[in-house]
Amino acid sequence: MCVPDDARVAERGLVIEARGLRKRYGSRTAVDDVSLDVAAGECVGVLGPNGAGKTTTIKMVTCFLPPDGGTLRVVGRAVHPRNHRAIKARLGIVQQQDSLDPDLSVEKNLTIYASYFGVPRAEARRRADELIRFAALAEHRHARIRTLSGGMKRRLMLARALVNEPAMLVLDEPTTGLDPQARRLVWERIRSLKGDGTTILLTTHYMEEAARLCDRLIIMDGGRIVAVGTPEELVQRCVGDEVIEIRMDDEDDPRELVARLAGGPWRIEHAERTVHLHLRDGAGEVALASALAGREFARRRATLEDVFLTLTGHSLRD
């Protein structure tokens, strides 16, 4: 399907251009002054705790929710009701929930979905055959959906999202509920799409998934973007090189340890009965050894999960 403004996307290299996006639900502001760009061929992850605004942002980008303010262009077109159909025709969306037709076979789920985009029957069969192999479902081509495992369904959802050869693939929690083997296989398929230059917008609660797959991350909290960067940049900028975790005994007062450690060449975080020290460039080794003498602690490399907790807090979000 030809979209005239796709030429503009190729020329400028941007698939998403958002400036000052806002969305309110009554008195609550779900998205507050969000600006972001996604370049062609880039895999961008959107992270945040529950209620951060990431799902609302994705719904605006995919034309399922109108913005209340700001400007938004997707695949070269302004997000406006007159352009929704053309924009959606250039997107491939993998939702969290299984939306496959349980009464149809694997192959029919692909060919019938292709017909919604005006793909000719012969071409739909060709694409279905190619995507069934891509999703490692060749032996299940004629199987009904209800007989498939969770991992097979997720791979088929991914394949179906590609049947219209989209300009951008939107993945909403693509591996939620999968076992490690199925998750790794989905990761491999996403990596192969990245290698082919597919533009991907991904939301996930798995920090390892974000670190492995995304070129760049956008972290949201309270409806705003609180950090943007590559996984490596965010770890270095927000945490450092290493983290020391000190688990307190029931009779210990974490506040006493925090007070003793204050002022050292490290950053301190205190959550429940655990104290975290963020270290950079091995600074303060002598002072650290003295402060922690006689205490048990764990020392490890800083990760993206540390970044997430540092920026959005350790408290549970429902």
pLDDT of residue 317: 60
CATH no. for 6-235: 3.40.50.300
Q: Does the pLDDT value for residue 12 go beyond 80?
A: no
pLDDT of residue 261: 80
Quickly tell me which residue has 């969290």 as its tokens.
96
The string of pLDDT tens digits covering residues 19-65 is 999 999 999 999 999 999 999 999 999 999 989 999 999 999 999 99
Q: Kindly indicate whether the domain formed by 241-301 is annotated with CATH number 3.40.50.620.
A: no
Q: Where in the chain is the domain with CATH 3.30.70.260?
A: 241-301
> In the predicted model, what is the mean pLDDT of residues 231-244?
92
Tell me if 292 sits within 8 A of 309, measured CB to CB: no
CA distance 112 to 304: 40
pLDDT of residue 90: 96
The pLDDT-based confidence of 318 (bands split at 50, 70, 90) is low
Structure tokens at 157: 């959802």
The string of pLDDT tens digits covering residues 168-202 is 999 999 998 899 999 999 999 999 999 999 999 99
pLDDT of residue 247: 82
3-state SS class at 267: strand
Structure tokens at 205: 């609660």
C-alpha pair distances (Å), 52 with each of 22, 225, 230, 297: 13, 9, 20, 32
The pLDDT-based confidence of 100 (bands split at 50, 70, 90) is very high
- The whole-chain average pLDDT of the chain stands at 89
Q: Where in the chain is the domain with CATH 3.40.50.300?
A: 6-235
For 258, list phi and psi in degrees, rounded to 5. Answer: -60, -45
- What is the identity of the amino acid at 245? E
C-alpha pair distances (Å), 165 with each of 139, 161, 275: 24, 8, 49
Q: Which of 6-10, 85-89, 217-221 has the lowest mean pLDDT?
A: 6-10
Query: DSSP character for 83?
Result: G
H/E stretch holding 194: helix 180-195
Structure tokens at 67: 């913005």
CA distance 287 to 108: 66
Tell me if 260 sits within 8 A of 208, measured CB to CB: no
pTM of the model: 0.88
3-state SS class at 239: coil
What's the gap between Cα 207 and its chain centre? 9
C-alpha pair distances (Å), 159 with each of 96, 120, 153, 179: 15, 18, 10, 19
Q: Does the pLDDT value for residue 273 go beyond 50?
A: yes
Tell me if 296 sits within 8 A of 247, measured CB to CB: yes
Q: Does the pLDDT value for residue 314 go beyond 70?
A: no
- What is the identity of the amino acid at 2? C
The string of pLDDT tens digits covering residues 110-128 is 999 999 999 999 999 999 9
Tell me if 217 sits within 8 A of 308, measured CB to CB: no
Q: Does the pLDDT value for residue 207 go beyond 90?
A: yes
